[in-house]
Structure 1
């Protein structure tokens, strides 16, 4: 009769060793591939903002980039954790709140310095109606890349993994969207970029249990 130990040894006999960072590399490849597709779509369909060179010399563009990439890094860390089986706690979940709090503080200062009759324009900008939906659309290729990455991984908390993947895709898409979006207000970014990222997170939460099942 075969013992449990012999069975385990037999199953593991032909298993090749996996690198310590194999999960991170696979998720990174999925995110990177999706981000390239999103960037191509943003440039070819939406177009680069006409003053991108000038904007790159100021601070507003880099605040948007820093905010979205900080969210993307925190979400990436959560995604790689949840890609492994049996992970019950998320060590880096708190990190996603840091850029939101910092941008909210900056937006508050910006709002206080703006005359009351100009605050609505500061908040809405010229593209508030389309911004969240464009971010959500650009998140699709990144989410598809993450689905590819998860095919060889073993998530067990499928809804949470879907949410983390959606958050990652939304944040990366928002960073790509900076190439097109001319809005400079921190309050605009905090509201409408974040709404697009939240929509991507919600979509990931809803489809995660179905698409990440293994």
Structure 2
């Protein structure tokens, strides 16, 4: 059987599932959000001054970054889970979150004295960040890997890694409501490293649980 015929057969199989893949992904995001919210509220919860912090641009910008990551990863993983689906546009959108963070970091470097750069980068909660973004994201990652098995990704390791990025964007969004470090330097460093952990776990999950 030629590769093109195999892809068409896989695509037909995906479309014949009891639940359409698009519906499965929407349900998965809803379930993952509930799981992430439960872990968040049962462990660290929001920061005490949340209502005050919500009036500051630095605090709100964190959600712009994390939501941009989650939305772009969602678009890409939906494409990757369907054989033969175009991925170029969705892949290009993955540059949005890093670009936004990069612009914010540059603006902060211009606005903040050089002597404060190290303090802003290290922050006060880097170990909590590194621990809880992966912790909050583990449940959602498991949900997303399960949906990938419902589809037929031709690049399971890549699809698993994007599942980790999606879980990371979701978990980082919840964690941002707890985090006292609102500096883009902190977010660019420690949020990124925490999401990379989930990305690596997702790639491993794709390698061992999603392949067909």
Say yes or no: TM over 0.5.
yes
Q: How many residues align?
A: 200
TM-score, normalised on structure 1?
Answer: 0.85
What is aligned with 2:165? 167
SS where residue 135 of structure 2 aligns?
Answer: helix
What is aligned with 2:123? 125
Stretch deviating more after TM superposition (57-66 or 81-90): 81-90
1:103-145 Cα deviation digits (max 9, x unpaired): 2121122122222222111111101123123111111111111
Say whether the 8 Å CA contact 1:135–1:177 is kept in structure 2. yes
What is aligned with 2:177? 179
Please give the alpha-carbon distance, in whole angstroms, between the structure 1 residues aligned to 2:60 and 2:23: 26
The gaps in structure 1 that reach 5 residues or longer are 1-14
Please give the alpha-carbon distance, in whole angstroms, between the structure 1 residues aligned to 2:173 and 2:133: 9
* CA RMSD, Structure 1 to Structure 2 (Å): 2.3
SS where residue 127 of structure 2 aligns?
Answer: coil
Please give the alpha-carbon distance, in whole angstroms, between the structure 1 residues aligned to 2:23 and 2:180: 33
Please give the alpha-carbon distance, in whole angstroms, between the structure 2 residues aligned to 1:97 and 1:109: 18
What is aligned with 1:38? 36
1:65-92 Cα deviation digits (max 9, x unpaired): 1110111111001100111124474321
2:47 paired with 1:49? yes
How far apart are 1:49 and its partner, in Å?
Answer: 0.5
Say whether the 8 Å CA contact 2:159–2:206 is kept in structure 1. yes
How far apart are 1:23 and its partner, in Å?
Answer: 2.1
1:156-177 Cα deviation digits (max 9, x unpaired): 2111111111111111111111
TM-score, normalised on structure 2?
Answer: 0.86
Say whether the 8 Å CA contact 1:85–1:156 is kept in structure 2. yes
Higher radius of gyration, 1 or 2: 1
Of 99, 105, 113 in structure 1, the residue corresponding to residue 111 of structure 2 is 113
The gaps in structure 2 that reach 5 residues or longer are 1-12
Say whether the 8 Å CA contact 2:76–2:87 is kept in structure 1. no
Which has the larger helix fraction? 2
